[in-house]
Structure 1
Amino acid sequence: MNPSTTPPNAPLSAAGLILVGLLALSGWHPYDRATWLMEVAPVMIALPVLVATRQRFPLTTLLYTCIFVHALVLMLGGAYTYARVPLGFALQDLLHLGRNPYDKIGHFFQGFAPVLINREILLRGHHVRGRKMLAFLSVCVVLAISATYEFIEWGAALALGQGADEFLGTQGDPWDTQSDMFFALIGALAALTLLSRLHDRQLQRLIPP
């Protein structure tokens, strides 16, 4: 690998430090400590993994950026709980909705960032050649992740009872699970439609043929 083609270390280090600081800030006085821990757990897992793999498997700048934004969405939802995020209330008033829609933003990014992770791994590992099959499998993995997350929410509800209400964030919607997965699908399709060409260009610079 040509070192000149890898993303620079300084911006990545700065972004990592910013995320650590914001993570600490989001957990300073969260609305519900247990909910905060469950919501930001993916960030706590992803950060050490990204640091550990930075040298031997650096990602594209686009992917690091998407992961950074996704982490911000998760931490904000964890600090307030998804049903109480102020941005969601503003959108609720603006769009005349019957509930705070911030959790749908979270599930949108649950598809938006992971589909690019799937795409990058499949391409760089030479696991898939056809572009249509690449897109199909990338989206399938996103839906599998989304379904697994719903299983986790179900398990939390069974284990914690009413104490899991803040984590579930259903706000009385009987179709919340289905709409969560649908928004993850929308996020995945949006990322593939808008960013595939940019992603390809960055991959070519990261690993020249």
Structure 2
Amino acid sequence: MPQAAAQEEPLITQKKLEFVLLLLCAAALVVSGIGPFDRLTWFLEVWPVMLGLPLLVLTSGRFPLSFLVYVLLFVHALILLVGGHYSYANVPLGFWLQDVFDFTRNHYDRIGHLAQGFIPALLAREILVRTSPLKGSRWLPFLVVCFCLAFSALYELLEWAAAVVLGEGADEFLGTQGDPWDTQTDMFLALSGAVASLLLLSKWHDRSMARLTAAVGR
């Protein structure tokens, strides 16, 4: 088989899989919005998916991402959509973990904030590797972690702004569950997630980016 044809076939397969992820994510968004715990909380939690999904579609032709990053973004979207539907303090998975490990609270929001560092870390890494001179630089992981911390801090500021504007109406969105250190814990989890992602997935991410580059030439 000619090399060009060999490259084209995996690319077509990946595009089909990406389309499946897109359909599943859109379906999950619709299902998440059916009878949520609180409509305002649902919107506040899922707006990143509403914004990110069309943005990824619009940029998929000019700047497609590696398949690994698309899969991780899909997982992140599901975490947000489930949290938005139930509100983070009421997600059944969190109650199950609470029973199994004898936690004092529903920790589903901790999963969300860990993912808030773990998944955006590879998105930031891919953009920097492909659009800047940082590929192979020792500064790359440091700057990726800095981005994730800044992103987490921005999200906490948005939660603070919602609390100021909405008052008690933002309680479900904040999901502190009485923890005075909730904000600090959330940012620490995002930091931990970013570091873990770089340590565990960087080589896999490089291979995924290499396959994309071989297929599309950028």
> When the two structures are superposed, what TM-score results if normalisation uses the length of structure 2?
0.92
Q: Which residue of 1 aligns with 2:44?
A: 38
Equivalent-residue separation in structure 2 for 1:129 and 1:51 (angstroms): 26
AA paired with 1:86?
P
Q: Map 1:17-32; keep pairs closer than 5 Å.
A: 17-32=23-38
Please say if residues 14 and 67 of structure 2, whose CA atoms lie closer than 8 Å, have aligned partners that are also in contact. no
User: Which of 94, 103, 106 pairs up with 2:109?
Assistant: 103
- Aligned-partner SS, 1:180: helix
> When the two structures are superposed, what TM-score results if normalisation uses the length of structure 1?
0.95
Equivalent-residue separation in structure 2 for 1:127 and 1:75 (angstroms): 36
RMSD (CA atoms): 1.4
Please say if residues 21 and 71 of structure 2, whose CA atoms lie closer than 8 Å, have aligned partners that are also in contact. no
User: Which of 148, 159, 164 pairs up with 2:165?
Assistant: 159
Distance 1:197-1:151 versus aligned 2 partners, 3 A rule? same
CA-CA distance at 1:147 after TM superposition:
0.2
Matched pairs, number: 208
Q: Which residue of 2 aligns with 1:78?
A: 84
User: Which of 160, 184, 200 pairs up with 1:194?
Assistant: 200
Q: Which residue of 2 aligns with 1:140?
A: 146
Equivalent-residue separation in structure 2 for 1:132 and 1:47 (angstroms): 32
AA paired with 1:58?
P
Q: Which residue of 2 aligns with 1:51?
A: 57
Equivalent-residue separation in structure 2 for 1:115 and 1:29 (angstroms): 32
CA-CA distance at 1:130 after TM superposition:
4.3
Equivalent-residue separation in structure 2 for 1:205 and 1:187 (angstroms): 25
**Superposed CA offset, 1:23-68 (max 9, x none):** 1111010000000001000000110011001111111111001000
Equivalent-residue separation in structure 2 for 1:20 and 1:202 (angstroms): 24
CA-CA distance at 1:131 after TM superposition:
3.7
Rg larger in 1 or in 2? 2
AA paired with 1:180?
D
Equivalent-residue separation in structure 2 for 1:108 and 1:127 (angstroms): 28
**Superposed CA offset, 1:75-111 (max 9, x none):** 0000000000000001111111111000000001101
- Aligned-partner SS, 1:207: helix
Equivalent-residue separation in structure 1 for 2:138 and 2:23 (angstroms): 38
Residue segments in structure 1 that go unaligned for 5+ positions in a row: none
Residue segments in structure 2 that go unaligned for 5+ positions in a row: none
Q: Which residue of 1 aligns with 2:120?
A: 114
AA paired with 1:84?
N
Which region of structure 1 is more displaced relative to structure 2, 163-172 or 92-101? 92-101
- Aligned-partner SS, 1:141: helix
CA-CA distance at 1:126 after TM superposition:
2.5
